[in-house]
Structure 1
Amino acid sequence: MRRHIKHVFFDLDHTLWDFDKNSGLTFEKIFKLSDIETNLEDFLEVYEPINLKYWKLYREERVSKANLRYSRLKEAFDILEVAIEDKTINHLSVAYIDYLTTFNHLFEGTFEILDYLKNKYELHIITNGFEEAQERKMKNSNIRDYFKTITNSEMVGVKKPNPKIFNFALDSANALPEESIMIGDSLEADIEGADNIGMDTIYFDYRNLNNTKDYKRITKLKSIENYL
């Protein structure tokens, strides 16, 4: 039976906001400003899986925000055997956050799907990202006004997939789980987390990993129209 959906909750990074592209452009900028001589493609190839690993540790409360920001860079430079001082890594970790929101590429079809949904549903964000950065990302990319509520992990004190953040978001939106759907790129954080409290889900498999048979899956945002 098709649910009567009233509320659509989106993840932000890797779902609407093209984190990989914006992150790559940010590293290009800050390496140039800091005279870091390393091949950007080689760095990103090493850094991106390390970053995902540290975000998983952060979700599990096993590293702090400061530790995440430092260690993901330190580990990447160590693997590449690039000698770099701790003070430079700390400087880069701050510069990265400062410059990240100056690049605001969205996934193909973001505005089109938000325009398609906005008059039919109430739209919301649930994100594990840092509060100050997430607000800037949404404002600078001109998508902030589409969303009635924004829930981030720092305001709740826990991160997806913890049920508390989903329940907080539902309460903020005055929404029931059975009339809500979560759209995100992380099977663990977004999809399993939302499913566990009774929300409907759409897995945005933008990397086309095809690693689930259990959930509705899309590889392009436009395909949301097949379900909503």
Structure 2
Amino acid sequence: MEIVKTKITDVFFDLDHTLWDFEKNSALAFETIFKKHQINLNVEEFLSHYVPINLRYWEMYRSEQITQTQLRYGRLKDAFDLMSFEIDDERILFLSDQYVYYLPKYNHLLEGTIEILEYLKPKYKLHIITNGFAEIQNNKLNNANINQYFQTITNSEMAGVKKPNPLIFQHALDLAQAQKGNSIMIGDCIEADIYGALRSGFDAVLFNENHLIVDENIKQIHHLLELKKYL
């Protein structure tokens, strides 16, 4: 399960939940729009419903079961329904747009992000592969001031497919002018990031911050700085 460090030239990162603290920034975005638009709900209680719903909707979006519009509307609609909060579709769509607008304005990173990027940058070419939407992901990178670490950014919109589809990994390789045998993927999603990368010929390390039980053959870390033992 060791990685041959001298063999690796290109390190590909997922963004949300791996470097960019999605849950913290998302909570702040909801606090802002609920206050601004007088949505009289307890944000913590709302998030207790919304977070698992959002994960489920992203799974459906990754597997092409729903569209971007259905993702953005459905996750809010379902969360409001669970709280028995009466709100019409027009307002849900408005709040969805507001959430997408405010989300990248917050820039909290997961612990160790800057330190590990500083450590890796002199040794490897660094890249992003994300299923997120292009404009939003670029805003996140710019606002968090980490865009300068990455030579290329591949998103699902430009690739035309989403992780774990091998075509997005090939698109990222082509953009980076990298070889799969010299590349490694770091991400938090076992299916999209890890199995997607492994099936595409990459090496891979799972960022398993929540200590989920996974196959013992999967390389994993629980803190970003643990990457130093692999790279």
TM-score (norm 1): 0.98
Q: 1:210 deviation in Å?
A: 3.0
Q: 1:16 aligns with which of 15, 19, 29?
A: 19
The alignment status of 1:199 with 2:186, answered yes or no, reads: no
The alignment status of 1:44 with 2:15, answered yes or no, reads: no
Superposition pairs of residues 198-217 of structure 1, within 5 angstroms: 198-217=201-220
| Paired positions, count | 228
Deviation >6 Å, runs of 4+: none
Q: 1:69 aligns with which of 69, 72, 88?
A: 72
The alignment status of 1:105 with 2:111, answered yes or no, reads: no
**1:171 counterpart residue number:** 174
Q: Distance in 2 between matches of 1:151 and 1:51?
A: 22
Q: 2:30 aligns with which of 24, 27, 32?
A: 27
**2:56 counterpart residue number:** 53
Q: 1:88 deviation in Å?
A: 1.2
The Cα RMSD (Å) is 0.9
**2:139 counterpart residue number:** 136
List alignment gaps of at least 5 residues for structure 2.
none
Identity of aligned pairs, percent? Answer: 55
Task: Tell me the secondary structure at the aligned position of residue 101 of structure 1.
Answer: helix
Letter in 1 for 2:210: R
Q: 1:198 deviation in Å?
A: 1.2
Q: 1:84 deviation in Å?
A: 1.0
Q: Distance in 1 between matches of 2:188 and 2:215?
A: 12
Q: Distance in 2 between matches of 1:208 and 1:38?
A: 31
Superposition pairs of residues 107-122 of structure 1, within 5 angstroms: 107-122=110-125
The alignment status of 1:126 with 2:129, answered yes or no, reads: yes
Q: 2:155 aligns with which of 132, 152, 166?
A: 152
Q: Deviations over 1:19-40 (max 9, x none)?
A: 0000011001100011001111
List alignment gaps of at least 5 residues for structure 1.
none
Task: Tell me the secondary structure at the aligned position of residue 58 of structure 1.
Answer: helix
Q: Distance in 1 between matches of 2:146 and 2:67?
A: 29
Q: 1:87 aligns with which of 82, 90, 110?
A: 90
Q: Distance in 1 between matches of 2:215 and 2:84?
A: 37
Q: Distance in 2 between matches of 1:55 and 1:182?
A: 20
Letter in 1 for 2:25: N
Task: Tell me the secondary structure at the aligned position of residue 209 of structure 2.
Answer: coil
Q: Distance in 2 between matches of 1:203 and 1:40?
A: 30
TM-score (norm 2): 0.97
The answer (yes or no) to whether the contact 2:50–2:75 under 8 Å persists in 1 is: yes
Letter in 2 for 1:40: V
Letter in 1 for 2:212: L
The answer (yes or no) to whether the contact 2:3–2:230 under 8 Å persists in 1 is: no
The alignment status of 1:183 with 2:186, answered yes or no, reads: yes
Task: Tell me the secondary structure at the aligned position of residue 125 of structure 1.
Answer: strand
Q: Distance in 1 between matches of 2:214 and 2:44?
A: 26
Q: 1:212 deviation in Å?
A: 3.2
